[in-house]
Amino acid sequence: MAIIARFEMPEHFGTAGGTSCYTDLFMLRVRFAPSPTGFLHIGSARTFIFNWLYARHTGGTFVLRIEDTDAARNSQEAVDVIINGLHWLGLDWDEGPLTGDATGASKGNYGPYFQSQRKANYLARVEALLSRGLAYEHEGAVKFRMTREPVTIHDLQATILHLLGLDAWKLTYAYQGLHQKLIGPEGAAKIRKELLA
């Protein structure tokens, strides 16, 4: 169980008003995703506490998601031990299941919070990748179709463009040199000038 941090664009991103504070533009989301195949391990509790503290320190959102995809080893008893153990430690979460019941109540807008309940979503995403030619099937596995060219991740670049008053949303989904066409020579020159100033 690794510490995972993901940044989300808040709904008011377009009205940030030229602020230069990176943390004002993004809301931190961290998660703890235990697999219910046994008891709550002390190392798992430590990971939970570090993520919980980081979310509280940054004003971010802490998510509990149960990784119950190993049907052969999962047990309801283990789910209950995890949930009850975290409550016993006095820890809470901003999003996630309220009980150990996979079909039970949860809090948050991005559920379901049991991985097994998200299968239809994942199958739809895989089908979309296959139909668009971005993935292919090989020996029973679905693999991404990758080019030999480097792929650039534009999240930070999109933020910089927004702060410079350019249309960051066009760049967010652009890749493999397409961004040069979207921002044009004037936009590229403005970025270079601002970054080198």
pLDDT at residue 189, as a whole number: 62
Instruction: Please report the pLDDT score of residue 188 as a whole number.
Output: 59
Residue-level pLDDT at 177: 45
Of 26, 24, 29, whose CA–CA distance to 6 is shortest? 29
Please give the pLDDT value at position 128.
93
Contact between 51 and 58 (Cβ < 8 Å): no
Per-residue pLDDT at 14: 40
Which segments in the chain show pLDDT lower than 50? Answer: 1-25, 168-182
CB 87 within 8 A of CB 44: no
**How many whole angstroms separate alpha carbon 137 and alpha carbon 83?**
37
**Among candidate residues 116, 122, 123, the one with its CA nearest the CA of residue 33:** 116
Dihedral angle, C-alpha 129, 133, 134, 136, nearest 10 °: 80
Say what the pLDDT of residue 191 is: 57
Q: State residue 21's pLDDT score.
A: 38
Give 34: exposed, middle or buried? Use CB within 10 Å, 0-12, 13-18, 19+. Answer: buried
**What is the homologous superfamily of the domain 4-113 according to CATH?**
HUPs (3.40.50.620)
Give me the residue spans of the domains in the chain: 4-113, 116-146, 155-196
Q: Which two tokens stand for residue 25?
A: 């533009």
- Give the residue carrying structure tokens 């004003």: 59
pLDDT at 113: 93
What pLDDT, on the 0 to 100 scale, is given for residue 28?
Answer: 84
Residue 97's pLDDT is: 94
Is 157 within 8 Å of 177 (Cβ atoms)? no
- With tokens 């996979």, the residue in question is 102
Q: What is the largest CA-CA distance in the chain?
A: 61
d(CA 7, CA 51): 14
